[in-house]
Amino acid sequence: MRIIENAAIATVDARGTEYRSGHVVADGEVLVAVGEGPAPAQYTGTRVDGSGCLVTPGLINTHHHLYQWATRGYAPDSTLFDWLVELYPVWGRLDAEITHAAASAGLARLALTGCTTVADHHYVFPREGGDQLAALVSAVGRVGVRGHLVRGSMDRGESHGGLPPDHLVEDLDAALAGTEAAIDVHHDPSPDARVRIAVGPCSPFTVTERLMTEAAVLARRKGVRLHTHLAETLDEERQCLAEFGCTPAEYAEKLGWLGDDVWLAHTVHLADDAVRRMGATGTGSAHCPTSNGRLGTGIAPARGLLDAGAPVGLGVDGAASNESGGLGEELHQALLQARQRGGPEALTTRHALWMGTMGGARCLGREGELGSLEPGKLADLAVWDLGGLRHAGIDDPVAALVLGATPEVKLLLVGGETVVADGRLRTTDEAAVTAELGAASGRMR
């Protein structure tokens, strides 16, 4: 049993319950007590003094491309389409060893910034690239977080008006077969699952209409979730209007891609009616503020989506468009961007924390077991160290987390197991991960 005491606690439950000095008790994989003051005497086990710390649910990353950790720093001043054109040939050199090294590094960085669950959208499958999904699953197990691995696909190459080179796309039938195989081999539907699979054709400009529709049918037949990029740039909107006579959001709805089993990455350029439709259908949004800023794509209407009732989570996005690769800082960036778009009352510090926790859990369909600190939920939590110069003088611990520098993680538990302690990764050798990444990045160049 793990007992954390004397800490500020933000439960992120439906009532927004918080404690200035409280306790959290984990018995194995599950939380058994959360409350004010010291833990009741009936609980015995390893005690952690949380003085000067804030305990929150583990952060949930709703959109990433882990393989991109091997290609950070490319095309630093490009638009999305130009950035993709430069990087597609590089990604064509991926193999399973590179993907495992990059994913291990990306997951390690995420864990060190408070993240316990990662949705990774992997859509590059070079013909000689080996078993890409197995490489990702192995990295998830190595670092010790939960993985929602989105088996992506592209079947629309340059010769058919798409953006990727033809040699990097799959045949439609092969993409569907590979997706179904990934579900059959790796998907765990149990409440305490460490690995789940979702279905994720990449985007309207890399995928045919038939793949979008048949992928949705496949996902619903297998009982898994759906994910894709949507409405990220004005270039995408212009292309959709020219080719299909509708906006990306209208195109998604036409193809059956709005619903409470769908979450969409970015959703930057949405008309008001599209925001309302996402809310009405329960379609989730993975808001990626730093990546959107890096590529200059715009500011997503996060406040409007929340008001409409849509699940909104936070995403780091691939490290090739967010070289920092950490999730804790996205709380800060989401708040700043919302206020730049809608004024100082557009998003509170608690809203930002909600998006990084319960909002992400709703996007992934796991609000029953993740996203808040409540008895019966899984023991996925972060203990943030708010002591020292970086947060001195900030009386509100949630404001310190969201507005201040990203704190060091004193303790990160996933299913009650230690992943980070005292700012150091405990599940694997960080130096080895770093060395493997350096070799992988060199091979990609």
pLDDT tens by residue, 13-50: 999 999 999 999 999 999 999 999 999 999 999 999 99
Digit-coded pLDDT (tens) for 403-419: 999 999 999 999 999 99
What pLDDT was estimated at residue 33?
A: 98
Rounded Cα gap, residues 362 and 313, in angstroms: 8
Average pLDDT, the chain: 97
Per-residue confidence (pLDDT) for residue 309, from 0 to 100: 98
Residue 257 binned pLDDT confidence (cut-offs 50, 70, 90): very high
Q: pLDDT class for 118, splitting at 50, 70, 90?
A: very high
Q: Are strands 53-57 and 381-385 parallel, antiparallel or unpaired?
A: antiparallel
Contacts of 121 (CB under 8 A, 6+ apart): 63, 64, 65, 150, 152, 200, 202, 227, 229, 265
What is the pTM (predicted TM-score) of this model?
0.98
Tell me the two tokens of residue 431: 């130096």
Q: Is the dihedral of CA 339, 341, 343, 347 positive or negative?
A: negative
432-443 pLDDT, tens digit each: 999 999 999 999
| Per-residue pLDDT tens over the stretch 283-325 | 999 999 999 999 999 999 999 999 999 999 999 999 999 999 9
Residue pLDDT, tens place only, 119-136: 999 999 999 999 999 999
User: Would the pLDDT of 204 be above 90?
Assistant: no
pLDDT tens digits, 335-376: 999 999 999 999 999 999 999 999 999 999 999 999 999 999
What is the pLDDT averaged over residues 207-211?
97
Cα-Cα-Cα-Cα dihedral sign, residues 318, 321, 324, 330:
negative
